[in-house]
Amino acid sequence: MAIHNNVLVKFNVGSKIFKTTTSTLANAGHNTFFGKLFDKNWNLQTYNSANDDGNYFIDQNPDCFAVLLGLLRTGELYILSNVLEKLLHREALFYGLLDDVRSAKCGQFDGNRL
């Protein structure tokens, strides 16, 4: 996943809009949903596609997505009170971030694994 510049990316996750940058998503690493999303060899159409608004639609839990995006942004895990840990683990598994969540529970996630 070569991120040459910092580009704004918009996601529609369960009808909630999130905005972030490609450099934040790069913290997830190659073997994650986000790493594959920007891999030119990956067929994006098999998972989602950008709609007319330029948002990538992901049919997952938006509250968990917010927690996981926060982890990628700050390296720290802040689980919202309305998010069950079991649900967060399931969502983290979907995105390929389960090991990162587990590591962050023990200390700060270091990011930048590319």
3-state secondary structure of 106: helix
Task: Name the band, by pLDDT with cuts 50, 70 and 90, for residue 113.
Answer: very low
Domain boundaries, the chain: 8-106
CATH number for the domain whose boundaries are 8-106: 3.30.710.10
pTM beyond 0.85: the answer is no
Mean per-residue pLDDT for 100-112?
A: 74
pLDDT at 7: 86
Q: What is the mean pLDDT of the chain?
A: 83
The residue written with tokens 């720290």 in the block is 76
